[in-house]
Chains A and B, each alone.
Chain A
């Protein structure tokens, strides 16, 4: 059955009201009814196997599609206490459906690097299920550089047990439609998560960064900062929700979304939400949408910096801060280079 409103989310689903995937996926997209090519590179000691997928009662429509077309699950296992210099790398995912699981054993510490660079006129639907055992740390870097006519939905579920930590940095350039969704469940005490991202959109590109953080135990520490810029007729979407359950006392959680419109024909939609049932917590969210500071631009030009360069410098300074929390300096510099490249071409 080809993709349609009958097997994809529609705008009537609250979580998809700004990201009309059934419309974007209409027509003949490559990979719509096929398994995605996947390449996984792992450091020595980490294993990759294929296991059968089984349906669950609460599968979303996208999970059902993956079940139907993705074939066996790619299962990555990181043993207890494992550490390595080299990252786990996931490549491929250029079209089609995929299911991947990543399990970090107790105290394991590893970097995961994903590069999403899809095919022209393709549909990609990938599901990554991450389990962080107690004390595990995952440093995840995702770069999305799809072509303008690619539709991508990348959904990640992270389950974190006691003292586990997720450090996530995402750099996205959008596509015909892209949705990068992270769902984080804190199932043990004192979990930590940094979930930062930047989106840079031009032409008619669309990028949706959605996240849901569900905390069920005390002492969680969550920091989220997503920043974006939109040029031309592009559209940026941020949806973030922190759900702090009654036992999750002493949760310390901050969510920020800050965006700048570089054109008045572009669009930014954002919905930050807090749902809090514990009474002794520090939770905050902030959301700003603005434009480049004209007075700052004039000041820079008065010093001799040409307008385009002044704009690029201010934009880089604005966006770049989301990567300050990335410890890997080489990686940080490479993300900033990609960001600068976009600013230069623009």
Chain B
């Protein structure tokens, strides 16, 4: 279970508070959606969970299955099973996608004291998955995300997620920039990963993704914290009514 308590996060060298007392619990096996106005701090939450520099936690706690996440380096959090699908995936020039992913997978395994995945198994798994996500095989040979379209980058995030099999997934606006076909492929991938021992936090601006990935709970992030929560239907209400009534 991911447990966030009274989380305060500031940016700009700690001068600009963004989250001011956010509390949230995502039990294993559940998918929670976070919606909210632009600039509310949704991406800030995702960066804080993954340990990006510049997002200073001034108060509060975050634990995953009882382990203190905030004490860990970003790579330790990844090895503990936290995966972020970036709102804006980065380009890594000169590093072929397969090399990148194999290095990442085996670094995580090593950190967990597990055996490395050998090249043949890795190749087989990645080829099958690429086919399932309808990705061109050449994409895996190119430097990671370099020259990919916005939609291809998002698909690549899902590809990485499914290869790494994390136990807690944060998706930050993975739906933006996707056409309906791509959205369905991404949603199928996510739904396949739903399992009793995996939690998911899906940040989205639009309700349409939630037609494909039906969440257990929907939360509104506004004014530095969770301003309201509801079931899957709540997303439709929010889409209709907007976030005005949660504004400060």
Binding site for B on A (CB under 8 A): 293-296, 298-307, 309, 313-314, 316-318, 320-321
Given A309-B103, A313-B103, A304:B92 Cβ within 8 A: no
Contact B75 A298 (CB under 8 A): no
Given A317-B94, A318-B94, A320-B94, A301:B89 Cβ within 8 A: no
Given A298-B52, A299-B86, A305:B75 Cβ within 8 A: yes
- Could you list 21 A-B pairs, sorted by A, with CB under 8 Å? A293-B90, A294-B53, A296-B91, A298-B74, A299-B90, A300-B92, A300-B100, A301-B74, A301-B78, A302-B50, A302-B86, A303-B101, A303-B164, A304-B75, A304-B108, A304-B111, A309-B103, A313-B103, A317-B92, A317-B93, A317-B143
Partner of A306 from the list B75, B86, B143, B160 (CB cut-off 8 Å) is: B75
Cβ of B130 within 8 Å of any chain A Cβ, yes or no, is no
In chain B, positions 38-56 with a C-beta closer than 8 Å to chain A are: 50-53
Q: Which interface class (under 10, 10 to 19, 20 to 34, 35 or more) fits B?
A: 20 to 34
**What total of A-B pairs shows CB separation below 8 Å?**
72
The 4 closest A-B pairs by CB, nearest first: A317-B94, A304-B78, A304-B108, A303-B104
Q: Which residues of A contact B89 (CB under 8 A)?
A: 299
Bound CA span A294–B74, Å? 13
Contact A295 B90 (CB under 8 A): yes
Binding site for A on B (CB under 8 A): 50-53, 73-75, 77-79, 83-84, 86, 89-95, 100-101, 103-105, 107-108, 111, 143, 160, 164
Contact A321 B94 (CB under 8 A): yes
Contact B79 A304 (CB under 8 A): yes
Bound CA span A300–B105, Å? 11
Please give 20 more A-B residue pairs, beta carbons under 8 A apart, in addition to A296-B91, A298-B74, A303-B104.
A295-B90, A298-B52, A299-B89, A301-B74, A301-B78, A302-B83, A303-B160, A303-B164, A304-B111, A304-B164, A305-B75, A305-B107, A306-B107, A307-B73, A313-B95, A313-B100, A314-B92, A317-B94, A317-B143, A321-B94
Bound CA span A303–B164, Å? 8
Given A309-B103, A309-B107, A313-B103, A301:B94 Cβ within 8 A: no
Q: Which residues of A contact B111 (CB under 8 A)?
A: 304, 306
User: How far apart are B169's CB and chain A's nearest CB, in angstroms?
Assistant: 12
Candidate in B52, B91, B94, B100 with the most chain A CB atoms within 10 angstroms: B94
User: How far apart are B79's CB and chain A's nearest CB, in angstroms?
Assistant: 6
Partner of A296 from the list B53, B78, B92 (CB cut-off 8 Å) is: B92
Given A299-B89, A314-B92, A320-B94, A304:B52 Cβ within 8 A: no
Bound CA span A293–B91, Å? 10
Partner of B104 from the list A294, A300, A307, A318 (CB cut-off 8 Å) is: A300
User: How far apart are B203's CB and chain A's nearest CB, in angstroms?
Assistant: 15
Q: Which residues of A contact B93 (CB under 8 A)?
A: 317-318
